[in-house]
Structure 1
Amino acid sequence: MDFTGKVAVVTGASSGIGLAAAKMLSKHGAYVISLARDEGNLRKSIDSIEADVRKNITGIATDVRDEASVKQAIEQTVSMYGQIDILINAAGVSMPGKQLLQEIELKQWQRIMETNLTGTFLMSREALLRMNERNSGYIINILSTAAFQAGGGDSIYSASKYGARALTESMISASRRSGVRVSSISPGAVDTNIWSHKLEPVSQESRDTMLKPGDIADIILFLLTRPRAVHIDNITVTSWDR
């Protein structure tokens, strides 16, 4: 598939699924706007990409939780390229470990909900405004199996992903028979640096059995290359080895 001339915005693009998606899209010819909060990490990630791939990637330090920051990133994208064809909402954070509801502080709730849910809302809203002008575009939200089954001790994360799922389903319903498509991908455990921030270390043996960021990038490519008449609401994917 050739995405030459297409403009893709990817959040959470300094690592994990976001970085894998940005690389995949650039390899297929898209102009990619990579967004992440930490400018240093974002720049380091882009610099680590092969020269022939990173030439199509522009990094913009963006906090998806902040309305002004999101608007500025979208406006800068449109100023550079005149359009937005693809949005991949891959930014996300998780809990440091299993916690009972009564153990959770408000700041933990706010951090996860604002990134996983508010960030998806803000990015989608601003992108939709531009996509609807051209009656064309594709938004893919990275959810989780936690959006369908809440586990004990995962209350905030599950609530954020259930909320993002509801938001996605509403967007799909509102976009039916328009030129803008909306889908989600709901992976099980993916081997990203999110596991490095857990209070209890996750063994390398366990991480080896997880999905890889490239697996999710491959599914993103599959969705983007379906004919316009084909719509897939959600793809749930888990590791066969876990």
Structure 2
Amino acid sequence: MELNGTVAVVTGASSGIGLAAMRALLGKGAYVAALARDADRLSHAIESLPPELKRNVTGIPADVRNESAVRFAMDEAVSVYGKIDILLNAAGVSMREKQLVQEIDLAEWNRIMETNLTGTFLMCREALLRMSERNSGYIINILSTAAFQASGGDSIYSASKYGARALTEAMISANRHTGIRVTSISPGAVDTNIWSHKTKPVSAEKKATMLKAEHIADIVLFLISRPPSVHIENITVTPWNR
């Protein structure tokens, strides 16, 4: 599979799944508009790429929670590359520690919902507006196994991912007979820097049992290499024999 001439917008591109997917897409010949909240981290991530890949990236610092920033980023991607073929929503945050509903304050609720749900919505809306003009495109949302099974201590995170799952399924239904496909990937625990924000450190032994960001990037490539007549609604991926 080669993606020469394909244009992908990737959020959360400065680390984790977003960075791994950006590398994978570039390796197949795609152009990538790389979005991340932290401009310095985004610049460092792009500079870490091999020269032959780096020239096909445009870094666009953007906070997916901010409506005007999202609109500007998508306009910039189209201005540079002329179109958007793929949107990969990989930006996400998690709870710093397990909390019951009665222990959660509104600021923590908003922090997670604004990125995981509102950010996904804003990116999808702007992508659909542009993809609809060409009746062509592929949106892939990174969800979580928490979008299918909630636990008492992860209520906000699960709520945000359940909401993103509902948004994804609604877009699938609305675009069923168009040239725009929508799919979600729902991983179990993935070894990314999201664990460094936890109140209690996660052991190296536990991280060793997790999925790797590159595993999810491989699934992204698998999805976009399917024929246009093939649609996969969701892929759930978990570690095996752990």
Q: TM-score, normalised by structure 2?
A: 0.99
Q: Matched residue pairs, number? A: 242
| 1:188–1:238 Cα contact (<8 Å) kept | yes
1:132 aligned to 2:136?
Answer: no
| 1:23–1:54 Cα contact (<8 Å) kept | no
Q: Where in structure 2 are there 5+ consecutive unaligned residues?
A: none
| 1:36–1:63 Cα contact (<8 Å) kept | yes
| 1:86–1:138 Cα contact (<8 Å) kept | yes
Matches within 5 A, 1:88-237: 88-237=88-237
Q: Which amino acid aligns with 2:104?
A: I
Secondary structure of residue in 2 paired with 1:138 = strand
Offset, 1:199: 0.7
Offset, 1:203: 0.4
Name the % identity. Answer: 69
Deviation string, structure 1 residues 2-56 (Cα, Å, up to 9, x no partner):
1111110000000000000111111111110110000000001111111112221
Secondary structure of residue in 1 paired with 2:69 = helix
| 1:18–1:91 Cα contact (<8 Å) kept | yes
Offset, 1:225: 0.4
Q: Over aligned residues, Cα RMSD in angstroms? A: 0.7
In 2, the alpha carbon distance for the partners of 1:64 and 1:6 equals 22
In 1, the alpha carbon distance for the partners of 2:157 and 2:241 equals 24
Alignment-derived partner of residue 69 in structure 1:
69
In 2, the alpha carbon distance for the partners of 1:55 and 1:238 equals 34
In 2, the alpha carbon distance for the partners of 1:151 and 1:53 equals 41
Alignment-derived partner of residue 59 in structure 2:
59
In 1, the alpha carbon distance for the partners of 2:130 and 2:183 equals 18
Structure 1: 4+ residue segments shifted above 3 A? none
Offset, 1:229: 0.8
In 1, the alpha carbon distance for the partners of 2:191 and 2:21 equals 15
Offset, 1:241: 3.7
| 1:146–1:158 Cα contact (<8 Å) kept | yes
Secondary structure of residue in 2 paired with 1:94 = coil
Q: Where in structure 1 are there 5+ consecutive unaligned residues?
A: none
Q: TM-score, normalised by structure 1?
A: 0.99
In 1, the alpha carbon distance for the partners of 2:24 and 2:54 equals 11
In 2, the alpha carbon distance for the partners of 1:176 and 1:101 equals 36
Secondary structure of residue in 2 paired with 1:45 = helix
